[in-house]
Chain A
Amino acid sequence: MDRWILHVDMDAFFASVEQRDHEEYRGKPVIVGGLGPRGVVSTASYEARRYGVHSAMPMATARRLCRDGIFLSGSYETYRAVSKKVFSVLSRFSPVIEPLSIDEGFLDITGMEGLMESRREYGLRLKKEIFEATGLVASVGIAPNKFLAKLASDLEKPDGLVIIEKEDIMRVLSPLPVRRIWGVGKKMNERLALLGIKTIGELANTDIKILEENLGTHAARQLYELSHGIDNRPVEPEREVKSIGREETFTEDIYKREDIDKALLYLAEQVGWRLRKAGTMAHTIQLKIRFGDFSTYTRRKTLEQPTAYDEEIYETAKELCSSVTMPRGMGVRLLGISGSGLGTSSEISLFSARDTQKKEKLYGAIDDLKARFGEGIVTKGNLIR
């Protein structure tokens, strides 16, 4: 049976939510993201994009480009609530949904022809129902696989609906730049340019042997297949969570040991809470540290027993941190803690069984408060600012 995949992507999601909720923002350039000196743009409204502002751009650059813009730090609680509504609409259109992020996802609509007048009508109906539920506009792409579906949803943004039929695949792909292929970043783009390959069509017409020699067998095969519009990856409804973590880029580099420890404690608290909320424990704790010169180090330690307790995460992170030598005169720009090797159970040690019972009761109480009043309700004394 022919596969058909639908990709939905909300248009300028965060900015559109802000414009929906604030009449005074409508028709104006709205930019949502980190507002500190090192913040980056999460979403720019289409009005702002006309000034050259785009996501992942440093906020400072965005401010320079768009002096009259409305700059917002965003309200993620609201976005999450809206996202929930979007996905509840999606769930009416396919039983197999793979969320890619807060505002986009894949739907497998293979074999559902009996439920739709036509694929175009189905796409239109989906867009209409999202609009009715949220007042927001989405772009939709429908194609025989994930790669093409995602590409299609982007072709006529905003408010787009593009269907790539099998016989049209090469006609659509050929003129597009190779960067439009998933996994082709800046470096790969340069390497392909050296081979004189700029468009997907040129890539598709290159002998695979030449690609293999220059890019390595694995990358070559993947690119070659994608350039011919072949992609067999299935839509995976619940992608298994492999790790749970948090990281923070500081407004200014931090130098003092106690400030670093404080930051680690703060991150450990968040990671612990997330782990417990997910009903899981981490066997391995990883620390990421980036210095002022952007040199980045990661250190990991596998614990004897998995944990979801803040202080065990903190102690491990601190230990890992002290194993990284600080470059002379350099401050810390970013710290991150993550837990992996996730499982739902751990063996209790005989020699700390009493502690375990106590901790379990303590965290039971803490998590109860956090669940009822929000994450900020309980924290360690030395984190109160």
Chain B
Amino acid sequence: MKFNCSKNDLIQALQIAGRAVATKPQTPILSGIYMKASEGTLELQATDYEIGVVCKIEADVEEEGILVAPGRYFSEVSRNLPGNTVTLTNDNNDNTIHISSGSAHFTLLKMNSEEFPCIRPLNNASHFTIRDTVLKKLIRKTSFACANDETRLIFTGCLLELEEEAVRMAATNTHRLSLDQEVLEGYEGDKKQVIIPARILGELEHGLNSDIPCDVTVNISYNEISFSFDNLYLTSRLIEGQFPDYHRVIPSDFKTRVTIDTAAFMAAVNRVSLIARSSEYNIVKLDFSMGQVHISSNSPEIGHAEETVPVVIDGPDVQIAFNGTYITDVLKHVDTKEFYLSLNESLNPAAVRETEDEAFIYIVTPVRVSR
């Protein structure tokens, strides 16, 4: 095998593929990066069995071939090469990979390519296409609300729900729920629900960074999902299990609706949270009355913080306590200058909505503070 390619293209591809290289591989081969050179293209693959990445770049292929290079060393060597063009050669009878660029020359031992679990496109899968900007927004507005706690696996993923002409994404850690939806033009398939691990969504959000809008093709089989766009193909296992009925947790009506300046409120809650203790759920108390919200937190052994922000209160006054993190988390993803906070009583869930976008809703439960 022999090819020449742009060093920058190679580095970029390795960066993306590198995220799927197993850090603690179940078998040694998973620490490698698979390369296939053919017809002007170099294809790179990496997988840790949970997720898989395939990335293609242009290359001047002189001799076709397949090999697996040790992931970490190949990435680090490539990143540090001088010059602009990389030449990689491998004699089929030989156990080594030769990499040269500019004045530098490296030889790396190759891995056994027959052992590598190649990533193949999903067969027998239902599929749809979605604009990259739409998919990215859905991910950005929901995946932050997932649980980190691996003990409840279904909450470490986002629910993707497809209906005629509509796509929804929801995430919860059982104390908060984030839900966003978009029109899905041309989708006429069955109603479908799958739970996608937050990890692949993170990689996807990372990869969806092109300035030129594109379509993403999504394939869903019974236990896997894949996303392909540009020169990238990402695949992941789905999380098995039943996502709880999130409609049930969205209150049908609220007694009080408060309109709040997003940036001012977020900054104030951030400041007041400095005094809240993580061991006690970062409690931040909110007291809505007289056209303002009084934000406070108190830790007997640390100190006390308070701040007020003017708001517009529509309905009865409310006092309520939240985990401050759950409030600042969502406000980072609110895109409007002002937002609505809808409330009932002090132990009822509250809702955060954007003033100009009906599609997004965030439900958060208060913290119960003993009497």
User: A353 contacts B249, CB within 8 Å?
Assistant: yes
Q: Known contacts A353-B249, A353-B347; is A348 also within 8 Å of B371 by CB?
A: no
User: B283 contacts A345, CB within 8 Å?
Assistant: yes
Q: Which residue of B lies closest to A304 (CB)?
A: B174
B279: chain A residues at CB < 8 Å are 343
Stretch at the interface among B196-204, B207-215, B332-340, B361-369: B361-369
Complex alpha-carbon distance, A46 and B279, angstroms: 50
Complex alpha-carbon distance, A289 and B216, angstroms: 61
User: A348 contacts B280, CB within 8 Å?
Assistant: no
Q: Known contacts A350-B249, A353-B249, A357-B347; is A345 also within 8 Å of B321 by CB?
A: yes
A364: chain B residues at CB < 8 Å are 371
Q: Which residue of B lies closest to A367 (CB)?
A: B371
**Which residues, 336 to 385 on A, are CB-close (under 8 Å) to B?**
343-351, 353, 356-357, 360, 364
**Which residues, 314 to 371 on B, are CB-close (under 8 Å) to A?**
321, 323, 345, 347-349, 363, 365-371
What is the CB-to-nearest-CB distance from B318 to chain A, in angstroms, rounded to a whole number? Answer: 14
User: A350 contacts B365, CB within 8 Å?
Assistant: yes
Complex alpha-carbon distance, A281 and B370, angstroms: 7
User: B367 contacts A348, CB within 8 Å?
Assistant: yes
User: B280 contacts A345, CB within 8 Å?
Assistant: yes
Complex alpha-carbon distance, A360 and B177, angstroms: 23
Complex alpha-carbon distance, A346 and B283, angstroms: 10
Main secondary structure of the interface of A (DSSP, over half): mixed
Complex alpha-carbon distance, A343 and B370, angstroms: 9
User: A353 contacts B370, CB within 8 Å?
Assistant: no
User: A349 contacts B365, CB within 8 Å?
Assistant: yes
Chain A: interface residue total (CB-CB under 8 A): 19
What is the CB-to-nearest-CB distance from A221 to chain B, in angstroms, rounded to a whole number? Answer: 30
User: B363 contacts A346, CB within 8 Å?
Assistant: no
B248: chain A residues at CB < 8 Å are 351
Can you list, as one digit per residue, whether each of B288-306 has a CB less than 8 Å from chain A (1) or not (0)? 0000000000000000000
Q: Determine which residue in A343, A346, A348 has the highest number of CB atoms from chain B within 10 A of its CB, and name it.
A: A348
Q: Known contacts A281-B370, A345-B368, A357-B345; is A350 also within 8 Å of B281 by CB?
A: no
Picked from A276, A281, A308, A348, the residue with its CB within 8 Å of the CB of B366 is A348
The reply on B244 being an interface residue by CB < 8 A is yes
User: A348 contacts B175, CB within 8 Å?
Assistant: yes
The reply on A196 being an interface residue by CB < 8 A is no
The reply on A216 being an interface residue by CB < 8 A is no
User: B365 contacts A308, CB within 8 Å?
Assistant: no
What is the CB-to-nearest-CB distance from B10 to chain A, in angstroms, rounded to a whole number? Answer: 46
A348: chain B residues at CB < 8 Å are 175, 347, 349, 365-368
User: A351 contacts B174, CB within 8 Å?
Assistant: yes
**Which residues, 269 to 291 on A, are CB-close (under 8 Å) to B?**
276, 279-281
A contacts, CB < 8 Å to B: 276, 279-281, 308, 343-351, 353, 356-357, 360, 364
Can you list, as one digit per residue, whether each of B152-173 has a CB less than 8 Å from chain A (1) or not (0)? 0000000000000000000010
User: B370 contacts A345, CB within 8 Å?
Assistant: yes
User: B172 contacts A344, CB within 8 Å?
Assistant: no
Q: Which residue of A lies closest to B283 (CB)?
A: A345
What is the CB-to-nearest-CB distance from A281 to chain B, in angstroms, rounded to a whole number? Answer: 6
24 A-B residue pairings within 8 Å (CB atoms): A276-B370, A279-B371, A343-B280, A344-B369, A345-B369, A345-B370, A346-B368, A347-B323, A347-B368, A348-B175, A348-B347, A348-B365, A348-B367, A349-B175, A349-B365, A350-B174, A350-B175, A350-B249, A350-B363, A351-B249, A353-B249, A353-B347, A357-B345, A360-B368
The reply on B7 being an interface residue by CB < 8 A is no
What is the CB-to-nearest-CB distance from B312 to chain A, in angstroms, rounded to a whole number? Answer: 26
Picked from A344, A351, A360, the residue with its CB within 8 Å of the CB of B244 is A351
A344: chain B residues at CB < 8 Å are 280, 369-370
Picked from B172, B249, B367, the residue with its CB within 8 Å of the CB of A346 is B367
What is the CB-to-nearest-CB distance from B138 to chain A, in angstroms, rounded to a whole number? Answer: 20
What is the CB-to-nearest-CB distance from B150 to chain A, in angstroms, rounded to a whole number? Answer: 15
Complex alpha-carbon distance, A279 and B176, angstroms: 26
A347: chain B residues at CB < 8 Å are 175, 281, 323, 365, 367-368
User: B370 contacts A280, CB within 8 Å?
Assistant: yes
Task: For the A-B complex with A343-B279, A349-B175 known, give 11 more contacts whose Cβ atoms are closer than 8 Å.
Answer: A280-B370, A345-B280, A346-B368, A347-B323, A347-B367, A347-B368, A348-B366, A350-B177, A351-B244, A351-B249, A353-B349
Picked from B323, B348, B369, the residue with its CB within 8 Å of the CB of A353 is B348
Task: Pick the 3 closest A-B CB pairs, nearest first.
Answer: A348-B365, A350-B249, A357-B347
A356: chain B residues at CB < 8 Å are 347, 368
A360: chain B residues at CB < 8 Å are 347, 368
